[in-house]
Structures are given as C-alpha cells and as structure tokens.
Structure 1
Amino acid sequence: MPATDPPPTLPRALTRLRPRTPGLGFGTAYVHEGPPYAVRDAELRLTRTMTPSRRADFLIGRCALHRALRDAGLSADAVLCDGPRPRLPAGLSASISHSNGIAVAVAGPTSLFRTLGVDLELNDVPREAAHLVLHASEAVLPEGDDAAVARHLLAAYAAKEAAFKALSPVLGAGLPGLRALRLAPHADGYLAHAPAGPGLCLRVTVHHLSRGVLAWAVPNV
C-alpha cells in the first residue's frame, strides 16, 4: 500500500496507547504540528546538509525523543548521531521510530531499562515479503483473508524491528537480521530473542492501530 498522510488525530491516539511501565517515558511528534519546539540548536545545525525528507524525519524524531525524556522525568542536551542511532548521554536508554510523518520515542534510565526499542509502522507488509520477516519456525500464516495475513505480518515485522533496535546496542556487529530473531506469543505481544545472543530476552508489546502497528520492546525481567 502506498504511503499516505495519516489523520491528524493519530498522534493523540498513539499517546493513549502509550506504555504504562513505571519509569518509561513516551513521546510523539507530527510533521504538520508546526516548528519542532523540543529540538535543540545543535540538532537543528546537524540537519543543514540533509535532504528535506531526511531533515523532517530527523527533527520530528528528536522532538519525540525529548518529549519522551521529559515524560520520564529526564532531560538531555542535543542528541546527535552514532551512525543511524542517536548518540545518547550516559545513563539513558531510548529509541525512536517514524513513519509517514509521525515519530514516536520511548526513553528511560539505564538503571531501569538496559535497552529499549520502539517501532511505528503505518504501511502494510505484503504477503510476498513474509519470508524476509518470519523464520521457518514462525512461517505459519493465520487462516483467513488477506487482511488477517497482513495484520499478522505487520505485527511480527513491527515487533522484530522494535526488538532489533533494542538488541542493536547490546549485540553490535553480532546482531543477526530480522528473520533470525525469534518471536513467541506472549500476553499482548511477543517475547523476542536472538538465538546467537547473550540470553537477553525482550518483552514486546504490540498495539494495532486503525491502519498500522505500534510496538515497543523492553528487557523481560
């Protein structure tokens, strides 16, 4: 399905679905809400050489991140980049995702959350891409019409993306691809782990939207 602008009510709906885990902050930002007030000057300077679309994604991502930090009772100066990931100050865990002009972020202290991951998906995953998302042990698709299959695939994809982001700073170059991550149904989402990893298991919460999925991953303790 091609990308389209999401309804302006979606950021508020995402906030209603926010994590309820103590100490875990959540923030959203929308490309059409106006200037990204939560963004720091050094973050703005970093965008000067970016393409317009990359600049928009970066700014709403950083805006959502600072709102998530504030929601958790935390704060940070400019959060720049380490490759594709935000360069977080010591003592903070966080993750950012954006899709179709909306950004979400989760944040919290490393004393509570060794690592975090979040993913927002507002576009479908086609059935033909199932082999890129699901491991052979997970490849049984649900009975039903194409809509049920698409819903299942999108939930699995978002859950694996959130888990991948959480595992990335822990496993580094040893992190396998999405397909190699394993999901097991659990409560309102999944338990996720990398078989070749150090035994870190993640609890991934998944919320279905009117068209899309929001997922976040925290260590399962």
Structure 2
Amino acid sequence: MEMRTDIRASVQRLRQRSLVTEVRDELERMILNGEIRSGERLNEASLADQLGVSRSPVREAARSLEREGLVRTVANKGVFVRDLSLEEAAELYDLRAMIAGYLCGLAAKHADADAKAELATFIARMDEAAACGDEQAYFGLNLEFHDYIATISGAGRAVALYSSLGKEVRLMRLRVLSGAESLALSNTEHKRIVAAIERGDADAARAEGAQHHTNGKRRLLETL
C-alpha cells in the first residue's frame, strides 16, 4: 500500500530533525573537545563531507549551536566558534559559582549512601587520570562529576541554568585543566566538596562548590 503524501512528508521531517540532531551533537563534541577551536570558522562544505551529509543539516545544526551560545554568525563571513572575551568568561564563571554553590548545598541535604559512593568513585577515577597526566580523561570525568552533583541536588531550574552556562564555559575549560599540577589541584577541591556532602554539611558544601568555580576563574585568568 502506498504511503499517503502527508504521512510521507511527516516521516521525512522526522528523519531530517533526527539527522540535524546527530550533526549538532557531533559538532558540539568537536567544539567542546577543541577539535574546532575558538575563533575558527565552520567550513560548511568540509564538515558536510566529513560527516557524510549534505550542507543543509550542518547549516541547521549551526543555528542550534548559535542559540546555545557556542557559535556566532558574522555577516558575509560565515559561522565561527565563539571566542569569549575576558569579561564574558569572568561573568560566566561568577554565575556558575553561585549556582554550583547552591546545587552542592542541596546535594549535601539529599545525597544518600549510593550517591556518596558514586561521588567517591568519581574522585578515585579523577585521581588516576591526574596521576597519568590524561587531561582528556580528566576533563570528561570532571564534567560528569559536576553534572552528577547537579542531578542529586534535586533542583530543577538551577540545573538547567548550570548546564546551559556550562557549555559556554567549556569553550575555555581546556585552558584551565591543563598540566598535572592543575589537575591535582582541581581534584583536591573536588575532595573538599565531596567531604562536605558526605558530612551532610550544606553550608560547607555550598561554600566549597562556589569557591571551586571561583578558583577556576582565577586559573583561567592566569593563562591569559
């Protein structure tokens, strides 16, 4: 039986949306992993060829990433990965520090034994990555660690805000988490956050979570 024209059109739209989502996710991964660097132009033709798609889903994916603050369109020049100014980066870190402190405080109130055990596992894995000097592994674990704290906090809107701001901050994060000493220092701060959560000390967890992000801003500024 031949598919109705309206159903066929609907299926095509769903397929297109799915493809755009896949391309968007891959472009985001490439940008946040530094494969496409800050300030670099997105070569639509090259990316389409690399991903095995037409230019259309790449173009749509770029629009989505622009809404999320990861790229920007320059008239008559194309789409570029955002190169955050010093002022923009500092503001993002300050906002993240406030929200992170709030989430860590809530996590201290809500974390059960399983959550605390998972946090301890994150710390051990990051210690291992730092000892090996594996910056990429540490970077990924670091993101998962903070996302996990946000999840167990039980908050709603704050988690969404933290995640949204985090994507922009990640454009700069690889500068902050570079070198064995930096990784070790970062995880020492993580241990203080987890210790406060394990004690159920919401005030200490809030303070340690905010300070960790403030320290991240300071380390970033030192690299500029």
TM-score, normalised to structure 2, is 0.29
**When you count strand as a share of all residues, which structure comes out higher?**
1
**Whose helix proportion is higher, 1 or 2?**
2
- Identify which of structures 1 and 2 has the higher relative contact order when contacts are C-alpha pairs closer than 8 Å and 6+ apart: 2
Could you state the TM-score of these two structures normalised by the residue count of structure 1? Answer: 0.29
